[in-house]
Every structure is written in C-alpha cells, then in structure tokens.
Amino acid sequence: MKYVLVTGGVVSGLGKGVTASSIGLLLKACGLRVTSIKIDPYLNTDAGTMSPFEHGEVFVLDDGGEVDLDLGNYERFLDIKLTRDNNITTGKIYQSVIDKERRGDYLGKTVQVVPHITDAIQEWIERVAKIPVDGQEGPADVCVIELGGTIGDIESMPFIEALGQFSYRVGPGNFCLIHVSLVPVLNVVGEQKTKPTQHSVRGLRGLGLTPNILACRSTKALDENVKTKLAQFCHVPAENIVTLYDVPNIWHVPLLLRDQKAHEAILKGLNLLGLTREPELKEWTARTKRFDKLLDPVRIAMVGKYTGLSDSYLSVLKALVHASVACHQKLIVEWVAAGELEDITAEEDPDVYKAAWDRLKVDVLNSLPLQEADGVLVPGGFGDRGVQGKILAAKYARENNVPFLGICLGMQIAVIEFARSVLGLHDANSTEFDPETTNPCVIFMPEGSKTHMGGTMRLGSRRTYFKDADCTSAKLYGNISFVDERHRHRYEVNPNMISQLENAGLTFVGRDETGQRMEIVELPTHPYFVGVQFHPEFKSRPGKPSALFLDKIPAFILKWKSFLIAYMVYVFRVTCGMKLYCNRWIDFTTFVLGEIPYGAGLIAASCGHLENLVRDNGHMRKSVSSGMSNGHSVVKPYVNGGATKPSNGSVNGVYSNGNGVHLEGNC
C-alpha cells in the first residue's frame, strides 16, 4: 500500500480537500485504484451533531456514517463509496483507546498519548486503507490522507506525531507528503511573498515531517524566481513545486496538477514511475471546457435556513450544478432565507421581505427574466426557524405551477402546506414544531431517539419501492421497481393521514418495504411537484448522463443514477420551457411522453438542447463504463466534483444573485 498525505499551512480554507481529491483523481486516471481518509482533529466522535455554520453540511454515507463534507468531495471525484471509518476524529481515537483500557487490553500499563494514541492512529489508517471502496475486491493501490486543520494547531499534534512515525514505519517509496500552502500577493507591491510558506514548511519539518511536494495557492501562477526561492529555503526540488492558482471552476484543478507534472513527482516518490500510464483525462477536459462556456441561465430559488453559508447545502448545490451542466445551462442560485418570506419580516423589515419574494417569484405567463426564479427547491434541515417561510414557498410553487423539489424536511413541508391549504386543516403541523397539534401530518419515527442526538436518526442507504410504476419518479428512474438512497431524518409523514391526503389529490408513490414509511410524494395535477424523504444529492455525480433508455420510453426520460440529477434535469426542462406555454396547462404525462403542443422545441432550446445528452432514436451517448443497478444495466457516471470552503463569496461555479454575491468556483 502506498500513502499520500496532504497537509495545510499558513491559513485554513486553502482547499486541501480539493487538492486531495484532485490528486486521487489524477492517480486514478493513471490506472491506480485509490481510496481516501480524512482526519479531523476535533473531539467530536463524528460530524452528526455539528451546526452547518460550524463545518458546513453533514455528509451521509451508505453505512449511515455522518462525516465531514470533504468525504463527499472524495466520493464525487473518485466515484467510490466510503465508510464511516474513513473519517478519523480525535473523539473516535480517544474513545477506542479508552475502551481498550477499560477492557484491560493494555495489561495495567500507563496509557499515554505516545505510544498508545499514536499507535491507535497508525493502526486505524492501515486498517481502513485496506477496505475496498470502488466495488472491486482487494485493497486499493494508493490511500490519499488529508489532515484537517493547519500545521501548528495544538489539537493536531498527536496526528502529526503519529504520521511522522507512520512515514518511517512504511519506509521510503511508500509515503509521499504534499503540503498545501499560501503564497499571497500584496496589492501594495504586487509581489508574490514566500515567507509564509517558508515558515509553514519550517514548522512542519520541526515536527518530524518533510514535504516531498509543495502545492502553492496563489492568485496567479508562481514566477520562476519565486519557485527557485521556495526550493532553496524549503528544501523541495523546483520541479516538485506546483501552483494552484485561481481558476473559473474547480474542475480545472486536476488539469493544473497534470499540466505541471504533479503526477510524475508523486509516482516518483512512491516508486511507481514507469509502472502506470499517462493520466487519461479526455472526458474531464471536455467537461471542464463545456462548463466554462455555459451561457443560458436557469434560476433556482434555494429556500433554506442556513443560506448565510452555502457550504450548508453543498451537496444539493453540486447536484444542481451537475444537472445544469448536463443540460448546458448556467446555474444561478437565488439564495432565499426562509425566515425572510414570513409575515413577521414584512412588519419588521419590509425591504428585506420584498427582496426575498422578488427572488422567489416568477411570472409564469410572461416569462419575465432578470432575478425571478424558474424553480423552487426546499432542502433538508432541523428546527422550527424559517418553517413558515418554507411552507409559503411550497404554497407559491404549488399554486402557480412553478416546478418544486422538496428534500427531507422539504417534503414534509410540502405535505403540511397541502394539508393546510387543500384539506383545510389550518393547524396541521409536524410534532417536531408543535407537539400538541391536533393534525400531526409529520410525526416522530420510532426508530430514533428523542434524548440522544448523535447517530440516532434513520441514517444511511435504505430501499424505496415504487407503489405506482407509472408515476413520474419511477419513469425518471427508468421504470425500475425500487431504488436505494441515503437518509438522515427523525420525523416522517404520519401514515394515519395518508388516505386523507391521497383522496385530496396528493400521491405517495414511493414507500419503504413495510409500506408505512412515505418516501416520495407527487402532485399529479402539477407540472412538476415532487418531495422525497431521502437525500438524493449525496449520490449525485457530475459528468455525462449515466442512464439507459428503456424500450418504448421516450428520450425525454433519463434514468439517472443520482435521483436529484434525474429530478433536476426535468426541473430545468420545465422551468426553462414550461413557462413559455404554461397557459395551456399541459398534463405532466403528456409532456414526458413527448406529446406536447406545437412549440415544444422551445423547451429543449431554452434548456440548452437535451439532444446533446442523447442520440436520436433514444440511444445514449457513448458511455464511460457500465455496471448494474437494481437489476438493470446502467452507465456509471464519469466522476468529478469537489469543493472548497467558500471564501470571499466564491463557491461552486454558480452565479448567485440572491444575496448580491457573484459566485464562481467548484462543482
């Protein structure tokens, strides 16, 4: 097993996660099998109880692990399925050591940071690195390890000591250290300054680790004299110093590394040079260029609680980007703080209230441009703040035939709104927000715990069965009988109210194996109104469409491995085109089957011509690789993706006008 360690210096938020993911992708493009580990030095056992404002979203894995969002980057870049043990925290390490001490495993010895904690870290890394994560048998060839935080942080010291011992233990040729540092450019003199990186490397070497490669973040490519200076003072060969300068979108990062021969430096350090092929990134390069050239906008209003930090909804945002690129559309996200839609805001700050509604509303008959949203997305969340605003957003979308997608809490919100507005149950609510409500549409699920928050929800991959094979969701999935998606919730739709809701027109088309847990809800009379209890964004992958067309199913229906991509592709089609003739109120099934009134070409044109995704006569473009899913052959997505934590309003290659910020960055 070969190991690549990625550390960071000077400041946090430099993009270690993107760098680690890009390195993994580059090595995979060279023909190697790659796995990843993220080390987080905080004392929490996992990320499950953290506020999104602290560390961004909580990413959920197939096994139910609640982990740092960087593991989502790894999965998207490398198209792998990681486990909860791929995220190491100080809390996990100390807990395992204390458990051993209580069992008497140390035979009465004094338990200390060195050697017991450091040994536990090394053993954990070696054990997890051998777990297959790419669907093949046997361990990977290379394990990329990202050490969170910044060199010099006191909480990282046990890990740095352990990794220093580990590098000596595995020996030369099996360990490569890449240090990500900052080379700032001072506006006053316009000169690239190397001193921060010099000090960072000196501190790293003083702790027993010597970098093989320097990855320098800067606004522009490093000058040759700067590289020479860094090589002299940091004891790193000039050819092993690469620049990660600012780029239009994060898909350029692996290409930057390739163009600067970073893979050769890594392979040389791992004694693999000459044993692998040149990196195959043709598909990646084409996709990156296409992303840069997108012009036609599609606007999606993201109505949420944590809109102040876009990382809180990172996977949702990425899934939207994946779908928009596939549709050749330039995604513009209108960030709408749910609380700003509520009546109390109208009283306290009318200007904020009006601005929020202006970002949400769209004239569906006249197709007005500018900042009005073409579709509405309500993502997951916890707590009652902003709930009323989300209900108002769902009501607006339902009553005005605006495409709507509700995820987790977003689905529950849609059900509550329907019960209030259509059934006339004005106090309908979730027992999470109103335990005394007489019409509990959403109730606490018996599988969880009300007293312990960490790891007690319905977590991980669960199976959803389609009750109606002719429903929108089943068609988008390719007419399969079930689908496996990831969950993270405590509350669910009350099964005792299902018949009442369905008699009024709402349909619960997806359920669990017992038929008691509602997973997917649709409103058949609406052009596109869908809610899902699971989180489809966690399995979203960028790249070319990864679906097959089934017999007699028109080319408009794509079976995406990521449920959100499937949904949002249709959302983009509807939001970009449906409004052009929505005064004729076309039935959804008629639309999907292609039996649309004259002028349907406007939809494809306004959405960037979905013909680019499929060949004539319902055949897919050439696939990257194939596989099996739920008994049907599918095309695996060619995976990229990744994220940096937002800095100065920059993230995700998305233009966001909702808060006056122009966003660029990653996928």
Q: What is the DSSP string of 394-457?
A: HHHHHHTT--EEEETHHHHHHHHHHHHHTS--TT-EETTT-TT-SSEEEEE-TTS-SS--TT-S
d(CA 253, CA 272): 22
Predicted pLDDT of residue 505: 92
In this prediction, residue 89 carries a pLDDT of 96
**Bridge partners, residue 278, by sequence:** none
> CATH 3.40.50.880 in the chain, residues?
294-555
Look up tokens 């449920």; give the residue.
563
Provide the terminal-to-terminal Cα distance of the chain, rounded to the nearest Å: 30
pLDDT at residue 451, rounded to an integer: 55
Write out the catalytic residue numbers: 408, 535, 537
User: What is the C-alpha separation between 371 and 360, in angstroms, rounded?
Assistant: 8
Cα separation, 239 vs 221, in Å, equals 14
Residues forming CATH 3.40.50.300 domain(s) in the chain: 2-289
Q: Pick the closest to residue 330 from 302, 294, 300 (CA basis).
A: 294
Decide: helix, strand or coil at residue 237: coil
- Give the angle 283-284-288 at the CA atoms, nearest 5°: 120
Q: Which residues sit opposite 636 in a β-bridge?
A: 625
Task: Report the amino acid identity of residue 227.
Answer: K
The upper half-sphere exposure of residue 53, i.e. CA atoms within 13 Å in the direction of its Cβ, equals: 4
- The Cα 467–Cα 465 span in angstroms is 6
Q: Which of 563, 535, 492, 529 is nearest to 405 (CA)?
A: 529
CB neighbours of 580 closer than 8 A, spacing ≥ 6? Answer: 367, 599, 602, 603, 606
From the list 644, 48, 65, 251, the residue with the least C-alpha distance to 57 is 48
Query: Global pTM?
Result: 0.80
Structure-token pair, residue 223: 């000058």
Report, as ranges of residue numbers, the positions in the chain whose pLDDT lies below 70. Answer: 362-372, 446-456, 543-667
* pLDDT at residue 85 in the model: 96
- Give the span between the Cα atoms of 162 and 220, in whole angstroms: 35
pLDDT number for residue 472: 79
Contact at 8 Å (CB) between 43 and 91? Answer: yes
Region 2-289: CATH code: 3.40.50.300
pLDDT at 446: 64
Query: Could you tell me which residues are beta bridge partners of residue 473?
Result: none
pLDDT at 55: 80
Instruction: Please tell me the predicted confidence (pLDDT) of residue 618.
Output: 33
Domain 294-555 class, CATH top level? alpha beta
Is-contact 21 193, C-beta < 8 A?
Answer: no
